[in-house]
Chains A and B, each alone.
Chain A
Amino acid sequence: MTRNLVVAGFGGQGVMLLGQILALAATEKQLNATWLPSYGPEQRGGTANCTVVISDEEIGSPVVDKPMYTIIMNNPSMEKFEKMVEPNGTVILNSTLITMEPKRTDVNYLKVPANELAEQAGSQRSANMVMLGVIGWLWKDIFTLEELEQAMVEKVGDKRPQLVETNKKAIELGYEFAKNII
Chain B
Amino acid sequence: MSERILMKGNEAVGEAAVRAGCRLYFGYPITPASEIAEYMAYRLPQVGGTFIQAESELAASNMVYGAAAAGKYAMTASSSPGISLMQEALSYMAGAEVPGLFVDAVRGGPGLGDIQAAQSDYFQLTKGGGHGDYHLIVFAPYTIQEVINIMPIAFETAFKYRNPVVIAIDGLIGQMMEAVEFPYFVNPDEVPLPNWALSGKFRHGYKKNVNTSLELDPEKLEAINWRLQAKYHEIEEKEPRYDYVGVEAPETLVVAYGTVARVTMSALKKMLAEGKSIGLFRPITIWPFPGKALAQKAVNAKRIVVLEMSAGQMIEDVKLNVFDPNKEYEFHGHPGGTTFTPSEIEQILRG
Contact = CB atoms under 8 A, between A and B. Distances in A.
B339 A63 contact: yes
A40 B265 contact: no
A30 B181 CA distance: 11
Interface in A36-67: 36-37, 39-41, 59-66
A34 B178 contact: yes
B203 to A, nearest CB: 51
Interface stretch (B69-77, B228-236, B312-320, B341-349): B341-349
Interface string A116-153: 00000000000000000000000000000000000000
Interface stretch (B55-63, B169-177, B204-212): B169-177
Nearest to B269: A60
Given A26-B179, A60-B342, A64-B342, A35 B262 contact: no
Given A26-B179, A34-B176, A60 B4 contact: no
Nearest to B5: A27
Interface residues of B, number: 26
A23 B41 CA distance: 26
Contacts of B172: 36, 62-63
A26 B177 CA distance: 12
Among A23, A33, A62, A65, the most chain B Cβ lie within 10 Å of the Cβ of A62
A1 to B, nearest CB: 15
Contact of B4 (A30, A41, A59): A30
Given A24-B6, A65-B344, A33 B179 contact: yes
B176 A27 contact: no
A40 B108 CA distance: 12
Contact of B265 (A30, A31, A37, A60): A60
Contacts of B269: 60
Nearest to A36: B176
A32 interface: yes
B266 interface: yes
Interface in B102-119: 115-116
B21 interface: no
A39 B171 contact: yes
Interface in B262-282: 262-266, 268-269
A20 interface: yes
Contact of B179 (A31, A40, A66): A31
Nearest to B339: A63
Range for the number of chain A residues in contact with chain B: 20 to 34
A39 B175 contact: yes
B4 A27 contact: yes
B53 to A, nearest CB: 22
A69 B264 CA distance: 21
Interface in A1-28: 20, 23-24, 26-27
Given A63-B342, A66-B343, A35 B266 contact: no
Contacts of A35: 6, 176-178
Among B5, B116, B179, the most chain A Cβ lie within 10 Å of the Cβ of B179
A83 B342 CA distance: 16
A23 B341 contact: no
Contacts of A27: 4-6, 179
Contacts of B171: 39
Contacts of A62: 172, 176, 178, 262
A142 to B, nearest CB: 14
B179 A61 contact: no
Nearest to B344: A65
Given A39-B32, A63-B341, A65-B343, A23 B262 contact: no
B179 A32 contact: yes
Given A23-B6, A35-B6, A40-B115, A61 B175 contact: no
Interface string B151-175: 0000000000000000000011001
B178 A33 contact: yes
Nearest to B7: A27
Nearest to A151: B6
B265 to A, nearest CB: 4
Interface in B1-54: 4-6, 32
Given A24-B6, A27-B4, A33-B6, A60 B177 contact: no
22 contacts: A23-B6, A24-B6, A26-B179, A27-B6, A32-B178, A33-B6, A33-B177, A34-B178, A36-B175, A37-B176, A39-B175, A41-B115, A59-B178, A60-B262, A60-B265, A60-B342, A61-B262, A61-B263, A61-B265, A61-B342, A62-B262, A66-B342
Given A23-B177, A30-B4, 4 more contacts: A27-B179, A35-B6, A36-B176, A61-B264
